[in-house]
Structure 1
């Protein structure tokens, strides 16, 4: 039961972080005819983003370990941007009205999502 609540909380945090990115970054948009539709879209994209990060990111980190070492981890910013962009593509294929227009909006959006998500995790404490 506690695991379920944590998953829901993490999904909500990612959704809020994505919402912040849509407000702060030109090129990241969520559309919908109602507020409920936009919230549902953000929650759906949060699930997609979480799954993409859980499945693909460890593989990329393992295969690209040398690049992480050579760039002192800065390649992680590029990886996070590409994962956000991929999440946008998957969302569009699932007909969710969430769109990232290119690499640079994805890059800055990934930074916003990371910082907002980290801050909310600190504030809400995992206990």
Structure 2
């Protein structure tokens, strides 16, 4: 149940991102399945590719005091857009979109935690 809830929260966060920020959108005619599929791909990329990117960029990340993580998150969003119905206007839009997606996901997680729907993750 936790995986399904996390997938739906990520799908909602992606959808809200496309409503809030014009640099990231879904292809015309995209339906709920496309949004959920993009969230699933985002989860897979975050679990498999993002740690490798963070490890490879560790020296630059240390020099920039962690700010290079924003670039890595932008690359992840751009990769997801390359294989799903998600459209990103450019690399700068991917970085801003990843930053906004982080904030939206954080707010949704906080709302679920207050509502008691997070499965008591501590």
Task: Return the alpha-carbon distance in structure 1 between the equivalents of residues 91 and 98 of structure 2.
Answer: 10
- Quote the residue 1:42 is aligned against: 35
- Quote the residue 1:110 is aligned against: 98
Contact 1:11–1:43 (Cα < 8 Å) also in 2: yes
| RMSD between aligned residues | 1.4
Moved over 2 A (4+): none
Which structure 2 residues correspond to residues 11-90 of structure 1 after superposition, within 5 A?
A: 11-33=7-29, 37-90=30-83
Task: Return the alpha-carbon distance in structure 2 between the equivalents of residues 121 and 6 of structure 1.
Answer: 12
Structure 2 residues without counterparts, runs of 5 or longer: none
Greater fraction of residues in helix = 1
**Number of positions where the alignment pairs a residue of Structure 1 with one of Structure 2:** 115
Contact 2:80–2:86 (Cα < 8 Å) also in 1: no
Q: Quote how far apart the aligned CAs of 1:80 are.
A: 0.4
Structure 1 residues without counterparts, runs of 5 or longer: 92-96
- Quote the residue 2:87 is aligned against: 99
Task: Return the alpha-carbon distance in structure 2 between the equivalents of residues 60 and 29 of structure 1.
Answer: 24
